[in-house]
Amino acid sequence: MRETRLLMICPTSRLTPDVLAREIHATGKDVKIKETCYGCLIEGEREVVREVTAFAREIDHNAVFSKRRAYKAGDPVRCRAQHGTRPGFAQLESEWEALPLIKAGLDAADNGEKTEEKPGKKKLPAIRFKEICEVK
Amino acid sequence: MKVFIDPPNSLILFDLVERFGNEPLSTMAALQERVDNLEIDMPPMNVTLDDVVKGLKYAGIEVPSGVRGRLSIWGPMIEAADAAIVVEDAPFEFGCVGCERSELMVKYLIKRSGKPALKLKYPEDEDEGKVFVQKVKEFLEGLQ
């Protein structure tokens, strides 16, 4: 069964999509690779794709993230090169920006570091709010 | 363990759930079946009329068809899942995934199913990122 994977590089990483694609090519695994601006797309049989994903994650520790993709790599419905729509792009971009924070979290988890959760913001009491609003 | 993720196409959640040794249930897998098996030639129509009808199992007729269409895909995944991780307050820029009504229905379905669920918010600084990963890890380890 086909599986297409999206590999995204954390923006703080020094790894480039070109290097990532070359490293995967060098494994000699039977997968199709498409280099993209954020990382690359890999496509092939499920087991092989999973092996390659595990390998890609080790290239730069905790800096390569992956998820499945419904459409094939270069599918004309979705491919930008053929003016395909990309409805999930805003979300992907937003999550890409948060990847350094997740990387920091993964690094901390690897080191066994524990972080205390900050207390949430409290609501401003109405009396205090009234004091702020009142012009003296 | 099968873990439903919300937003169901989240890169961060998909990666974390898989990284910690569980199977994430995502929209992408459900849509791949449609892409491979059905003719979908009018982007972004990933949901057919039949799906909207199937969505009636999860939401009433008065619910907008868009929400029902989404639930026809997400509903079976919630049923198949052993647990769920939900990131709340998705920004509106997330498109249909940022739909507040769909999110409310998803949270309701998860609560009704009685399955363990973790609710989080997207991290905004490094400490929040650490807490985010820590919570996901502890939650997933607790499921084993």
Q: What share of chain A is helix, strand, coil (3-state, %, to 5)?
A: 45, 20, 40
d(CA B46, CA A129): 48
For residue B99, give the CATH number of its domain.
3.40.50
Region B116-136 average pLDDT: 92
Q: Which residues of B touch A84 (CB under 8 A)?
A: 43
Region A103-132 average pLDDT: 90
The phi-psi region of residue B36 (left if phi > 0; otherwise alpha if psi is between -120 and 50; otherwise beta) is alpha
Q: Tell me, what's the pLDDT at A67?
A: 93
**For the whole model, what pTM was predicted?**
0.88
pLDDT over threshold 90, residue B7? no
Q: Which residues of A touch B121 (CB under 8 A)?
A: none
Q: Tell me, what's the pLDDT at B80?
A: 93
Reduced to 3 states (helix: H, G, I; strand: E, B; else coil), residue A11 is coil
- Among chain A residues, the shortest Cα distance to B129 is held by A101
Q: Tell me, what's the pLDDT at A56?
A: 93
Residues 20-59 of A with CB under 8 A from B: 57
Phi and psi at residue B61, to the nearest 5°: -65, -25
B118 touches chain A (CB under 8 A): no
Question: What is the number of domains present in chain B?
Answer: 1
A61 touches chain B (CB under 8 A): no
d(CA B60, CA B68): 8
DSSP class of residue B98? G
What is the tens place of the pLDDT at every residue in A43-74?
A: 999 999 999 999 999 998 899 999 998 888 87
| Assigned architecture for domain A2-110 | 2-Layer Sandwich (3.30)
Q: Which residues of A touch B41 (CB under 8 A)?
A: 77
- Range(s) of the domain holding residue B58: 2-143
d(CA A7, CA A115): 28
**Which ipTM value was assigned to this complex?**
0.86
Alpha helices for chain B (secondary structure H):
11-19, 27-37, 49-54, 65-80, 100-113, 126-143
